[in-house]
Structure 1
Amino acid sequence: MSASRDFFAAYDALLARWPAGTAEIDVPTPYGTTRVHAYGAAEAAPLLLLHGGGSTGAVWFANAAALGGHHRVLAVDILGDAGRSARSGRPLRTTADLMPWLDALLDGLGVSRAGLLGHSYGAWIALTYALHAPQRVDRLALLDPTQCFAGYRPGFLLRSLSVLVRPTTTRALRYLDRETAGTDTDPQWKRLFALAVSDVPDRKLIVGRRPDARALRVPLLVLLAGRSGAHDPEKVAARARAAVPHARIETLPNLTHYALPTATPTTTNRLIAEFLRPPGGGQRSSGA
Protein backbone atom coordinates (compact mmCIF):
# COMPACT_ATOMS: atom_id res chain seq x y z
CA MET A 1 0.00 0.00 0.00
CA SER A 2 1.59 3.24 -1.19
CA ALA A 3 1.37 5.91 1.52
CA SER A 4 3.31 8.86 2.88
CA ARG A 5 5.63 8.89 5.87
CA ASP A 6 3.12 11.18 7.61
CA PHE A 7 0.39 8.55 7.22
CA PHE A 8 2.49 5.76 8.69
CA ALA A 9 3.68 8.02 11.52
CA ALA A 10 0.03 8.74 12.40
CA TYR A 11 -0.82 5.04 12.06
CA ASP A 12 2.01 4.01 14.41
CA ALA A 13 1.05 6.72 16.91
CA LEU A 14 -2.48 5.33 17.13
CA LEU A 15 -1.25 1.76 17.34
CA ALA A 16 1.01 2.77 20.25
CA ARG A 17 -2.18 3.41 22.25
CA TRP A 18 -3.19 -0.25 22.08
CA PRO A 19 -2.73 -2.19 25.33
CA ALA A 20 0.59 -3.81 26.17
CA GLY A 21 0.82 -7.31 24.77
CA THR A 22 -0.71 -6.46 21.38
CA ALA A 23 0.85 -8.56 18.63
CA GLU A 24 1.22 -7.69 14.95
CA ILE A 25 0.44 -10.59 12.62
CA ASP A 26 0.81 -10.69 8.83
CA VAL A 27 -1.47 -13.32 7.30
CA PRO A 28 -0.83 -14.43 3.69
CA THR A 29 -3.92 -14.91 1.51
CA PRO A 30 -4.33 -15.48 -2.23
CA TYR A 31 -5.16 -11.75 -2.53
CA GLY A 32 -2.22 -10.41 -0.54
CA THR A 33 -0.88 -10.14 2.98
CA THR A 34 -3.31 -8.92 5.66
CA ARG A 35 -2.10 -7.12 8.78
CA VAL A 36 -3.93 -8.05 11.99
CA HIS A 37 -3.55 -6.41 15.40
CA ALA A 38 -4.13 -9.16 17.99
CA TYR A 39 -4.85 -8.70 21.69
CA GLY A 40 -6.19 -11.04 24.36
CA ALA A 41 -5.60 -14.61 25.46
CA ALA A 42 -4.74 -16.92 22.57
CA GLU A 43 -7.25 -19.50 23.83
CA ALA A 44 -10.13 -17.03 24.12
CA ALA A 45 -12.99 -16.87 21.62
CA PRO A 46 -11.88 -14.97 18.49
CA LEU A 47 -13.46 -11.61 17.66
CA LEU A 48 -12.67 -10.20 14.21
CA LEU A 49 -12.89 -6.39 13.97
CA LEU A 50 -13.53 -4.70 10.60
CA HIS A 51 -13.01 -0.93 10.47
CA GLY A 52 -14.78 1.78 8.52
CA GLY A 53 -13.31 3.02 5.26
CA GLY A 54 -10.01 4.85 5.80
CA SER A 55 -9.89 4.12 9.52
CA THR A 56 -7.42 1.17 9.55
CA GLY A 57 -7.44 -1.55 12.20
CA ALA A 58 -5.60 0.78 14.58
CA VAL A 59 -8.87 2.68 15.19
CA TRP A 60 -9.98 0.11 17.81
CA PHE A 61 -7.37 1.25 20.36
CA ALA A 62 -10.07 2.36 22.82
CA ASN A 63 -11.95 -0.93 22.54
CA ALA A 64 -9.22 -3.56 22.52
CA ALA A 65 -8.59 -3.79 26.28
CA ALA A 66 -12.28 -4.00 27.21
CA LEU A 67 -13.18 -6.53 24.52
CA GLY A 68 -9.96 -8.48 25.02
CA GLY A 69 -11.01 -9.40 28.54
CA HIS A 70 -13.15 -12.25 27.20
CA HIS A 71 -12.02 -12.53 23.57
CA ARG A 72 -8.99 -12.73 21.33
CA VAL A 73 -9.36 -9.40 19.53
CA LEU A 74 -8.23 -9.58 15.89
CA ALA A 75 -8.40 -6.13 14.26
CA VAL A 76 -7.85 -6.20 10.52
CA ASP A 77 -6.39 -3.65 8.11
CA ILE A 78 -8.93 -4.36 5.36
CA LEU A 79 -7.13 -5.37 2.18
CA GLY A 80 -7.39 -2.63 -0.44
CA ASP A 81 -7.84 0.14 2.11
CA ALA A 82 -5.21 2.22 3.90
CA GLY A 83 -2.95 0.45 6.38
CA ARG A 84 -0.22 -2.19 6.38
CA SER A 85 -2.03 -4.87 4.42
CA ALA A 86 -0.56 -5.33 0.94
CA ARG A 87 -2.35 -6.56 -2.17
CA SER A 88 -0.68 -9.16 -4.36
CA GLY A 89 -1.68 -12.27 -6.26
CA ARG A 90 -5.33 -12.47 -7.24
CA PRO A 91 -7.10 -9.13 -7.84
CA LEU A 92 -9.55 -7.99 -5.17
CA ARG A 93 -12.35 -6.34 -7.12
CA THR A 94 -15.81 -7.50 -6.08
CA THR A 95 -17.81 -8.86 -3.18
CA ALA A 96 -17.14 -12.31 -4.64
CA ASP A 97 -13.43 -11.66 -3.93
CA LEU A 98 -13.95 -10.26 -0.42
CA MET A 99 -15.65 -13.40 0.83
CA PRO A 100 -12.84 -15.89 -0.03
CA TRP A 101 -10.32 -13.31 1.22
CA LEU A 102 -12.01 -13.46 4.64
CA ASP A 103 -12.21 -17.25 4.44
CA ALA A 104 -8.47 -17.37 3.81
CA LEU A 105 -7.78 -14.82 6.55
CA LEU A 106 -9.64 -16.87 9.16
CA ASP A 107 -7.94 -20.03 7.94
CA GLY A 108 -4.54 -18.32 8.21
CA LEU A 109 -5.34 -17.23 11.75
CA GLY A 110 -6.33 -20.77 12.67
CA VAL A 111 -9.90 -19.69 13.40
CA SER A 112 -12.82 -21.90 12.45
CA ARG A 113 -15.54 -19.68 13.94
CA ALA A 114 -15.47 -16.10 15.24
CA GLY A 115 -17.55 -13.19 16.40
CA LEU A 116 -17.63 -10.27 13.96
CA LEU A 117 -17.64 -6.57 14.85
CA GLY A 118 -17.75 -3.98 12.09
CA HIS A 119 -18.23 -0.25 11.73
CA SER A 120 -19.65 1.50 8.65
CA TYR A 121 -18.03 -0.10 5.57
CA GLY A 122 -16.63 -2.82 7.83
CA ALA A 123 -20.16 -3.52 9.06
CA TRP A 124 -21.30 -4.07 5.48
CA ILE A 125 -18.47 -6.55 4.97
CA ALA A 126 -19.28 -8.27 8.28
CA LEU A 127 -22.99 -8.69 7.51
CA THR A 128 -22.25 -9.88 3.98
CA TYR A 129 -19.80 -12.44 5.34
CA ALA A 130 -22.21 -13.65 8.02
CA LEU A 131 -24.69 -14.42 5.25
CA HIS A 132 -21.97 -16.00 3.10
CA ALA A 133 -20.52 -18.26 5.81
CA PRO A 134 -22.94 -18.48 8.76
CA GLN A 135 -21.17 -21.60 10.04
CA ARG A 136 -18.07 -19.47 10.72
CA VAL A 137 -19.84 -16.60 12.52
CA ASP A 138 -20.70 -16.85 16.20
CA ARG A 139 -22.21 -13.40 16.81
CA LEU A 140 -22.46 -10.24 14.73
CA ALA A 141 -22.20 -6.65 16.04
CA LEU A 142 -22.64 -3.70 13.67
CA LEU A 143 -21.78 -0.09 14.52
CA ASP A 144 -23.81 2.45 12.51
CA PRO A 145 -23.79 0.06 9.54
CA THR A 146 -23.93 1.65 6.09
CA GLN A 147 -25.55 0.03 3.06
CA CYS A 148 -26.86 -2.79 5.24
CA PHE A 149 -30.48 -1.87 5.95
CA ALA A 150 -30.92 1.55 4.30
CA GLY A 151 -29.13 3.83 1.86
CA TYR A 152 -27.15 7.00 2.46
CA ARG A 153 -28.70 10.40 3.01
CA PRO A 154 -28.24 12.43 -0.22
CA GLY A 155 -26.81 15.31 1.81
CA PHE A 156 -24.14 13.05 3.27
CA LEU A 157 -23.04 11.99 -0.19
CA LEU A 158 -22.85 15.61 -1.31
CA ARG A 159 -20.77 16.61 1.72
CA SER A 160 -18.49 13.64 1.19
CA LEU A 161 -17.58 14.86 -2.29
CA SER A 162 -15.18 17.29 -0.63
CA VAL A 163 -12.94 14.39 0.37
CA LEU A 164 -13.45 12.37 -2.80
CA VAL A 165 -12.68 15.08 -5.36
CA ARG A 166 -9.18 16.57 -5.09
CA PRO A 167 -8.72 15.35 -1.49
CA THR A 168 -6.32 17.12 0.85
CA THR A 169 -5.53 16.57 4.51
CA THR A 170 -6.93 20.00 5.44
CA ARG A 171 -10.16 19.42 3.52
CA ALA A 172 -10.61 15.99 5.10
CA LEU A 173 -10.04 17.35 8.61
CA ARG A 174 -12.61 20.10 8.05
CA TYR A 175 -15.05 17.48 6.82
CA LEU A 176 -14.50 15.33 9.92
CA ASP A 177 -14.79 18.32 12.23
CA ARG A 178 -18.24 19.03 10.78
CA GLU A 179 -19.31 15.38 10.85
CA THR A 180 -18.19 14.84 14.47
CA ALA A 181 -19.14 18.21 15.99
CA GLY A 182 -20.28 17.94 19.60
CA THR A 183 -18.57 14.59 20.23
CA ASP A 184 -15.24 13.59 21.76
CA THR A 185 -14.02 11.84 18.62
CA ASP A 186 -10.30 11.17 18.97
CA PRO A 187 -8.16 13.85 17.23
CA GLN A 188 -5.29 11.45 16.48
CA TRP A 189 -7.67 9.15 14.65
CA LYS A 190 -9.11 12.11 12.71
CA ARG A 191 -5.62 12.98 11.52
CA LEU A 192 -4.99 9.37 10.47
CA PHE A 193 -8.26 9.29 8.50
CA ALA A 194 -7.45 12.60 6.83
CA LEU A 195 -4.03 11.30 5.78
CA ALA A 196 -5.58 8.06 4.51
CA VAL A 197 -7.82 10.16 2.28
CA SER A 198 -5.09 12.49 1.04
CA ASP A 199 -1.87 10.44 1.15
CA VAL A 200 -2.87 6.89 0.14
CA PRO A 201 -3.68 7.26 -3.55
CA ASP A 202 -4.12 3.57 -4.36
CA ARG A 203 -6.69 2.68 -1.68
CA LYS A 204 -9.80 1.19 -3.24
CA LEU A 205 -12.92 0.14 -1.37
CA ILE A 206 -15.12 -2.52 -2.87
CA VAL A 207 -18.72 -1.43 -3.37
CA GLY A 208 -21.40 -4.09 -3.57
CA ARG A 209 -25.11 -4.70 -3.21
CA ARG A 210 -27.03 -4.23 -0.02
CA PRO A 211 -27.23 -7.72 1.55
CA ASP A 212 -30.57 -9.40 2.20
CA ALA A 213 -30.41 -9.62 5.98
CA ARG A 214 -33.67 -11.60 6.21
CA ALA A 215 -31.64 -14.80 5.90
CA LEU A 216 -29.47 -13.95 8.91
CA ARG A 217 -29.70 -16.49 11.72
CA VAL A 218 -26.79 -15.55 14.00
CA PRO A 219 -27.35 -13.26 17.02
CA LEU A 220 -27.19 -9.62 15.90
CA LEU A 221 -26.47 -6.35 17.70
CA VAL A 222 -26.92 -3.04 15.88
CA LEU A 223 -25.58 0.10 17.58
CA LEU A 224 -26.74 3.24 15.83
CA ALA A 225 -25.41 6.79 16.08
CA GLY A 226 -28.43 8.89 16.99
CA ARG A 227 -27.01 11.92 15.17
CA SER A 228 -25.68 10.00 12.19
CA GLY A 229 -25.30 12.11 9.09
CA ALA A 230 -24.75 9.03 6.94
CA HIS A 231 -28.35 7.80 7.10
CA ASP A 232 -31.58 8.10 9.04
CA PRO A 233 -31.01 6.02 12.21
CA GLU A 234 -34.74 5.55 12.83
CA LYS A 235 -35.18 4.16 9.32
CA VAL A 236 -32.18 1.88 9.75
CA ALA A 237 -33.54 0.63 13.09
CA ALA A 238 -36.99 -0.06 11.65
CA ARG A 239 -35.66 -1.92 8.64
CA ALA A 240 -33.15 -3.90 10.71
CA ARG A 241 -35.91 -4.92 13.11
CA ALA A 242 -38.17 -5.96 10.22
CA ALA A 243 -35.43 -7.96 8.51
CA VAL A 244 -33.98 -9.56 11.65
CA PRO A 245 -36.68 -9.73 14.35
CA HIS A 246 -34.29 -11.31 16.87
CA ALA A 247 -31.81 -8.41 16.60
CA ARG A 248 -30.90 -6.25 19.57
CA ILE A 249 -30.94 -2.63 18.41
CA GLU A 250 -29.62 0.26 20.50
CA THR A 251 -29.17 3.95 19.71
CA LEU A 252 -26.33 6.07 21.09
CA PRO A 253 -28.16 9.41 21.05
CA ASN A 254 -25.27 11.86 21.12
CA LEU A 255 -22.94 10.21 18.62
CA THR A 256 -22.42 10.82 14.91
CA HIS A 257 -21.37 8.31 12.27
CA TYR A 258 -17.65 9.08 12.36
CA ALA A 259 -17.61 9.40 16.16
CA LEU A 260 -17.71 5.60 16.37
CA PRO A 261 -15.80 3.76 17.63
CA THR A 262 -13.47 6.27 19.35
CA ALA A 263 -16.02 8.55 21.10
CA THR A 264 -17.52 7.57 24.48
CA PRO A 265 -15.94 4.10 24.24
CA THR A 266 -17.04 3.07 27.75
CA THR A 267 -20.69 2.91 26.72
CA THR A 268 -19.95 1.26 23.39
CA ASN A 269 -17.64 -1.31 24.98
CA ARG A 270 -20.19 -2.18 27.65
CA LEU A 271 -22.97 -2.81 25.13
CA ILE A 272 -20.74 -4.86 22.84
CA ALA A 273 -19.24 -6.88 25.71
CA GLU A 274 -22.69 -7.66 27.14
CA PHE A 275 -23.84 -8.89 23.75
CA LEU A 276 -20.75 -10.99 23.09
CA ARG A 277 -20.45 -12.57 26.52
CA PRO A 278 -21.83 -16.13 26.52
CA PRO A 279 -24.39 -17.30 29.10
CA GLY A 280 -22.63 -17.81 32.40
CA GLY A 281 -19.84 -15.37 31.49
CA GLY A 282 -17.29 -18.03 30.49
CA GLN A 283 -14.97 -18.01 27.51
CA ARG A 284 -15.66 -19.85 24.30
CA SER A 285 -12.82 -21.09 22.17
CA SER A 286 -13.53 -21.08 18.45
CA GLY A 287 -10.08 -21.74 17.08
CA ALA A 288 -9.28 -24.35 14.52
Structure 2
Amino acid sequence: MEEFLAAYDAVLGRWPVAVRRVDVESEFGVTRVQVCGPADGAPLVLLHGGGATSAAWLGNVAELSREHRVYAFDQLGGPGRSIHNGRPFRRPGDLLDWLDSLFRHFRLTGAGVCGHSYGGWLALSYALRAPARVGKLALLDPTQCFAGFRPGYLLRALPSLLRPSAKRERAFLEWELGGAPVDPEWLDLVSLGAEFPSTKVVAGRRPSSVALSMPVLLVLAGKSRAHDVRRVEANARAAVGSLEVLTLPEATHHSLPLWPAEPLNRALTAFYQA
Protein backbone atom coordinates (compact mmCIF):
# COMPACT_ATOMS: atom_id res chain seq x y z
CA MET A 1 0.00 0.00 0.00
CA GLU A 2 2.83 2.42 0.81
CA GLU A 3 4.45 1.74 -2.56
CA PHE A 4 1.14 2.36 -4.32
CA LEU A 5 0.49 5.64 -2.48
CA ALA A 6 4.01 6.85 -3.26
CA ALA A 7 3.44 6.06 -6.94
CA TYR A 8 0.01 7.72 -6.80
CA ASP A 9 1.43 10.92 -5.30
CA ALA A 10 4.25 10.95 -7.86
CA VAL A 11 1.85 10.73 -10.82
CA LEU A 12 -0.59 13.25 -9.37
CA GLY A 13 2.40 15.50 -8.65
CA ARG A 14 2.72 15.84 -12.43
CA TRP A 15 -0.82 17.23 -12.76
CA PRO A 16 -0.22 19.86 -15.46
CA VAL A 17 -2.41 22.64 -14.03
CA ALA A 18 -3.00 24.15 -10.60
CA VAL A 19 -5.20 21.76 -8.63
CA ARG A 20 -7.06 21.83 -5.34
CA ARG A 21 -7.27 18.44 -3.66
CA VAL A 22 -10.57 18.17 -1.79
CA ASP A 23 -11.69 15.41 0.59
CA VAL A 24 -15.49 15.14 0.64
CA GLU A 25 -17.12 13.35 3.56
CA SER A 26 -20.36 11.42 3.19
CA GLU A 27 -22.12 8.49 4.82
CA PHE A 28 -19.99 6.22 2.61
CA GLY A 29 -16.59 7.58 3.61
CA VAL A 30 -14.16 10.19 2.34
CA THR A 31 -13.78 10.82 -1.41
CA ARG A 32 -10.67 12.47 -2.83
CA VAL A 33 -11.49 14.93 -5.62
CA GLN A 34 -9.04 16.77 -7.87
CA VAL A 35 -10.54 20.18 -8.63
CA CYS A 36 -9.06 22.48 -11.28
CA GLY A 37 -9.97 25.08 -13.87
CA PRO A 38 -11.70 28.47 -13.56
CA ALA A 39 -14.06 28.77 -10.60
CA ASP A 40 -16.78 30.16 -12.85
CA GLY A 41 -16.25 27.56 -15.59
CA ALA A 42 -18.98 25.13 -16.57
CA PRO A 43 -18.67 22.02 -14.37
CA LEU A 44 -17.20 18.84 -15.83
CA VAL A 45 -17.08 15.59 -13.84
CA LEU A 46 -14.52 12.91 -14.76
CA LEU A 47 -15.11 9.26 -13.76
CA HIS A 48 -12.15 6.94 -14.28
CA GLY A 49 -12.25 3.24 -15.11
CA GLY A 50 -11.92 0.44 -12.58
CA GLY A 51 -8.66 0.58 -10.65
CA ALA A 52 -7.33 3.55 -12.63
CA THR A 53 -7.76 6.46 -10.11
CA SER A 54 -8.10 10.11 -11.08
CA ALA A 55 -4.51 9.93 -12.36
CA ALA A 56 -5.99 8.47 -15.56
CA TRP A 57 -6.86 12.03 -16.66
CA LEU A 58 -3.26 13.26 -16.55
CA GLY A 59 -3.16 13.81 -20.32
CA ASN A 60 -6.56 15.46 -20.55
CA VAL A 61 -7.01 17.95 -17.69
CA ALA A 62 -4.83 20.73 -19.12
CA GLU A 63 -7.09 21.01 -22.15
CA LEU A 64 -10.39 20.24 -20.42
CA SER A 65 -9.79 22.73 -17.60
CA ARG A 66 -9.14 25.72 -19.87
CA GLU A 67 -12.80 26.69 -19.76
CA HIS A 68 -14.33 24.08 -17.42
CA ARG A 69 -14.28 23.61 -13.67
CA VAL A 70 -13.09 20.02 -13.58
CA TYR A 71 -13.92 17.55 -10.80
CA ALA A 72 -11.98 14.27 -11.07
CA PHE A 73 -13.06 11.72 -8.44
CA ASP A 74 -11.11 8.81 -6.99
CA GLN A 75 -13.84 6.19 -6.92
CA LEU A 76 -14.67 5.21 -3.39
CA GLY A 77 -13.79 1.60 -2.63
CA GLY A 78 -11.01 1.33 -5.19
CA PRO A 79 -7.32 2.23 -5.28
CA GLY A 80 -6.51 5.86 -4.55
CA ARG A 81 -6.81 8.42 -1.78
CA SER A 82 -10.53 7.90 -1.12
CA ILE A 83 -11.38 6.01 2.09
CA HIS A 84 -14.39 3.71 2.11
CA ASN A 85 -15.01 3.57 5.86
CA GLY A 86 -18.76 4.15 5.93
CA ARG A 87 -21.86 2.63 4.40
CA PRO A 88 -20.89 -0.39 2.24
CA PHE A 89 -21.69 -0.79 -1.44
CA ARG A 90 -24.06 -3.75 -1.74
CA ARG A 91 -25.91 -2.92 -4.94
CA PRO A 92 -25.49 -0.55 -7.91
CA GLY A 93 -27.92 1.91 -6.32
CA ASP A 94 -25.45 2.46 -3.48
CA LEU A 95 -22.82 3.63 -5.98
CA LEU A 96 -25.31 6.06 -7.46
CA ASP A 97 -26.17 7.34 -3.96
CA TRP A 98 -22.45 7.95 -3.40
CA LEU A 99 -22.10 9.79 -6.69
CA ASP A 100 -25.20 11.84 -5.96
CA SER A 101 -23.71 12.90 -2.62
CA LEU A 102 -20.74 14.39 -4.51
CA PHE A 103 -22.96 16.23 -6.99
CA ARG A 104 -24.93 17.66 -4.08
CA HIS A 105 -21.77 18.63 -2.19
CA PHE A 106 -20.45 20.64 -5.14
CA ARG A 107 -23.97 21.81 -6.09
CA LEU A 108 -23.65 20.49 -9.61
CA THR A 109 -26.62 20.77 -11.97
CA GLY A 110 -26.50 20.37 -15.72
CA ALA A 111 -22.85 19.32 -15.50
CA GLY A 112 -20.84 17.72 -18.23
CA VAL A 113 -19.97 14.14 -17.27
CA CYS A 114 -17.28 11.96 -18.84
CA GLY A 115 -16.72 8.33 -17.87
CA HIS A 116 -14.29 5.69 -19.10
CA SER A 117 -14.91 1.92 -19.00
CA TYR A 118 -16.58 1.12 -15.64
CA GLY A 119 -16.76 4.86 -15.09
CA GLY A 120 -18.78 5.02 -18.31
CA TRP A 121 -21.30 2.58 -16.90
CA LEU A 122 -21.46 4.67 -13.73
CA ALA A 123 -21.90 7.88 -15.74
CA LEU A 124 -24.67 6.42 -17.91
CA SER A 125 -26.47 4.92 -14.91
CA TYR A 126 -26.34 8.24 -13.08
CA ALA A 127 -27.58 10.16 -16.13
CA LEU A 128 -30.57 7.81 -16.32
CA ARG A 129 -31.28 8.28 -12.62
CA ALA A 130 -30.67 12.04 -12.31
CA PRO A 131 -30.96 13.61 -15.78
CA ALA A 132 -31.27 17.15 -14.39
CA ARG A 133 -27.77 16.85 -12.93
CA VAL A 134 -26.19 15.87 -16.29
CA GLY A 135 -26.11 18.35 -19.15
CA LYS A 136 -23.93 16.38 -21.58
CA LEU A 137 -22.61 12.85 -21.35
CA ALA A 138 -19.40 11.46 -22.88
CA LEU A 139 -18.74 7.71 -22.69
CA LEU A 140 -15.22 6.47 -23.45
CA ASP A 141 -15.25 2.83 -24.56
CA PRO A 142 -17.87 2.17 -21.86
CA THR A 143 -18.33 -1.36 -20.56
CA GLN A 144 -21.63 -3.03 -19.72
CA CYS A 145 -23.59 -0.18 -21.32
CA PHE A 146 -24.42 -1.34 -24.85
CA ALA A 147 -22.67 -4.72 -25.10
CA GLY A 148 -21.05 -7.32 -22.90
CA PHE A 149 -17.40 -8.23 -22.51
CA ARG A 150 -15.56 -10.44 -24.96
CA PRO A 151 -15.05 -13.91 -23.40
CA GLY A 152 -11.35 -13.76 -24.29
CA TYR A 153 -10.93 -10.52 -22.38
CA LEU A 154 -12.52 -11.98 -19.26
CA LEU A 155 -10.39 -15.11 -19.59
CA ARG A 156 -7.21 -13.02 -19.75
CA ALA A 157 -8.35 -10.96 -16.73
CA LEU A 158 -9.17 -14.04 -14.64
CA PRO A 159 -5.72 -14.65 -13.06
CA SER A 160 -5.54 -11.06 -11.85
CA LEU A 161 -9.10 -11.23 -10.53
CA LEU A 162 -8.61 -14.51 -8.67
CA ARG A 163 -5.14 -13.78 -7.26
CA PRO A 164 -4.47 -10.05 -7.66
CA SER A 165 -0.86 -8.97 -7.94
CA ALA A 166 1.01 -6.14 -9.61
CA LYS A 167 2.76 -8.63 -11.90
CA ARG A 168 -0.47 -10.26 -13.10
CA GLU A 169 -2.19 -6.91 -13.57
CA ARG A 170 0.70 -5.55 -15.62
CA ALA A 171 0.73 -8.66 -17.82
CA PHE A 172 -3.00 -8.28 -18.46
CA LEU A 173 -2.75 -4.57 -19.22
CA GLU A 174 0.23 -5.00 -21.53
CA TRP A 175 -1.67 -7.71 -23.43
CA GLU A 176 -4.65 -5.39 -23.96
CA LEU A 177 -2.53 -2.32 -24.70
CA GLY A 178 -0.70 -4.19 -27.44
CA GLY A 179 2.23 -1.79 -27.39
CA ALA A 180 0.22 1.44 -27.11
CA PRO A 181 2.61 4.11 -25.72
CA VAL A 182 0.92 4.92 -22.41
CA ASP A 183 2.68 6.80 -19.61
CA PRO A 184 5.02 4.27 -17.89
CA GLU A 185 4.52 5.77 -14.41
CA TRP A 186 0.76 5.50 -14.82
CA LEU A 187 1.15 1.86 -15.91
CA ASP A 188 3.22 1.20 -12.77
CA LEU A 189 0.53 2.85 -10.66
CA VAL A 190 -2.38 0.86 -12.09
CA SER A 191 -0.41 -2.37 -11.77
CA LEU A 192 0.33 -1.66 -8.09
CA GLY A 193 -3.34 -0.83 -7.59
CA ALA A 194 -4.17 -4.52 -7.97
CA GLU A 195 -2.64 -5.07 -4.52
CA PHE A 196 -4.43 -2.12 -2.91
CA PRO A 197 -7.05 -3.15 -0.29
CA SER A 198 -10.31 -2.43 -2.08
CA THR A 199 -14.02 -2.91 -1.64
CA LYS A 200 -15.58 -5.77 -3.56
CA VAL A 201 -16.62 -4.43 -6.96
CA VAL A 202 -20.36 -3.99 -7.42
CA ALA A 203 -21.02 -5.33 -10.89
CA GLY A 204 -23.32 -3.15 -12.92
CA ARG A 205 -25.88 -4.69 -15.23
CA ARG A 206 -26.53 -3.26 -18.66
CA PRO A 207 -29.41 -0.76 -18.51
CA SER A 208 -32.65 -2.36 -19.67
CA SER A 209 -33.60 0.86 -21.45
CA VAL A 210 -31.72 4.03 -22.39
CA ALA A 211 -33.95 7.09 -22.56
CA LEU A 212 -31.73 10.14 -22.37
CA SER A 213 -32.66 13.74 -23.08
CA MET A 214 -29.10 15.11 -23.10
CA PRO A 215 -26.55 14.92 -25.96
CA VAL A 216 -24.26 11.88 -25.78
CA LEU A 217 -20.78 11.40 -27.22
CA LEU A 218 -19.62 7.81 -27.58
CA VAL A 219 -15.85 7.42 -28.08
CA LEU A 220 -14.76 3.94 -29.10
CA ALA A 221 -11.29 2.39 -29.01
CA GLY A 222 -10.69 0.87 -32.43
CA LYS A 223 -8.38 -1.80 -31.00
CA SER A 224 -10.34 -2.47 -27.81
CA ARG A 225 -10.11 -6.06 -26.68
CA ALA A 226 -12.75 -5.54 -23.99
CA HIS A 227 -15.74 -5.84 -26.33
CA ASP A 228 -16.85 -5.72 -29.96
CA VAL A 229 -16.90 -1.97 -30.67
CA ARG A 230 -19.05 -2.48 -33.78
CA ARG A 231 -21.74 -4.07 -31.62
CA VAL A 232 -21.35 -1.33 -29.02
CA GLU A 233 -21.88 1.33 -31.69
CA ALA A 234 -24.84 -0.42 -33.33
CA ASN A 235 -26.63 -0.96 -30.03
CA ALA A 236 -25.91 2.60 -28.90
CA ARG A 237 -27.28 4.08 -32.12
CA ALA A 238 -30.44 2.02 -31.70
CA ALA A 239 -30.87 3.06 -28.06
CA VAL A 240 -29.80 6.72 -27.82
CA GLY A 241 -31.59 9.57 -29.55
CA SER A 242 -29.01 12.37 -29.66
CA LEU A 243 -25.78 10.46 -30.23
CA GLU A 244 -22.41 11.38 -31.71
CA VAL A 245 -19.90 8.57 -32.29
CA LEU A 246 -16.13 8.84 -32.68
CA THR A 247 -13.80 5.87 -33.17
CA LEU A 248 -10.11 6.35 -32.40
CA PRO A 249 -8.57 3.65 -34.63
CA GLU A 250 -5.30 3.12 -32.73
CA ALA A 251 -6.70 3.34 -29.19
CA THR A 252 -7.17 0.29 -26.98
CA HIS A 253 -9.59 -0.01 -24.10
CA HIS A 254 -6.93 0.60 -21.46
CA SER A 255 -4.95 3.21 -23.41
CA LEU A 256 -7.89 5.59 -23.00
CA PRO A 257 -8.08 8.30 -21.82
CA LEU A 258 -4.28 8.77 -21.67
CA TRP A 259 -3.58 7.85 -25.30
CA PRO A 260 -4.16 9.12 -27.88
CA ALA A 261 -4.81 12.29 -25.87
CA GLU A 262 -4.81 14.92 -28.62
CA PRO A 263 -7.73 13.67 -30.76
CA LEU A 264 -9.67 12.71 -27.65
CA ASN A 265 -9.18 16.13 -26.08
CA ARG A 266 -10.25 17.88 -29.29
CA ALA A 267 -13.40 15.78 -29.46
CA LEU A 268 -14.31 16.31 -25.80
CA THR A 269 -13.63 20.05 -25.95
CA ALA A 270 -15.76 20.47 -29.07
CA PHE A 271 -18.56 18.35 -27.60
CA TYR A 272 -18.80 20.18 -24.28
CA GLN A 273 -18.46 23.64 -25.83
CA ALA A 274 -21.03 23.12 -28.59
Partner residue in 2 for 1:251: 247
Select 2:176's aligned residue among 176, 179, 184. 179
**Runs (5+) with no aligned partner, structure 1:** 279-288
Partner residue in 1 for 2:96: 99
| Residue 133 (structure 2) pairs with residue 112 (structure 1) | no
Higher RCO, 1 or 2 (CA under 8 Å, sep at least 6)? 1
**Match of 1:150, as an amino acid?**
A
Partner residue in 1 for 2:270: 274
Partner residue in 1 for 2:66: 69
Q: Which moved more, 1:121-130 or 1:58-67?
A: 58-67
| Residue 76 (structure 2) pairs with residue 79 (structure 1) | yes
Partner residue in 2 for 1:242: 238
**Match of 1:241, as an amino acid?**
R
Aligned residue pair count: 274
Select 1:31's aligned residue among 21, 28, 32. 28
**Could you tell me how far apart the structure 2 residues matched to 1:59 and 1:151 are?**
23
**Runs (5+) with no aligned partner, structure 2:** none
Residues 213 and 247 (structure 1), Cα distance of their counterparts in 2 relative to 1, 3 Å cut: farther
Secondary structure of 2:51's counterpart equals coil
Contact conserved, 1:14 with 1:59, CA < 8 A, in 2? no
Contact conserved, 1:52 with 1:121, CA < 8 A, in 2? yes
**Match of 1:275, as an amino acid?**
F
Deviations 1:125-160 (A, max 9, x none): 000000000011010000000000000000000000
**Could you tell me how far apart the structure 1 residues matched to 2:16 and 2:208 are?**
37
Partner residue in 2 for 1:52: 49
Shift of 1:74: 0.5
Q: TM-score scaled to structure 1, two decimals?
A: 0.92
| Residue 222 (structure 2) pairs with residue 220 (structure 1) | no
Secondary structure of 2:153's counterpart equals helix
> Pairwise mapping of residues 277-288 of structure 1 onto structure 2 (< 5 A)?
277-278=273-274
**Could you tell me how far apart the structure 2 residues matched to 1:82 and 1:203 are?**
9
Structure 1 segments of 4+ aligned residues over 4 angstroms from their partners: none
**Could you tell me how far apart the structure 1 residues matched to 2:218 and 2:97 are?**
25
Select 1:40's aligned residue among 33, 37, 40. 37
**Could you tell me how far apart the structure 2 residues matched to 1:245 and 1:208 are?**
22
| Residue 207 (structure 2) pairs with residue 207 (structure 1) | no
What's the C-alpha RMSD, in Å, of the aligned pairs?
A: 1.2
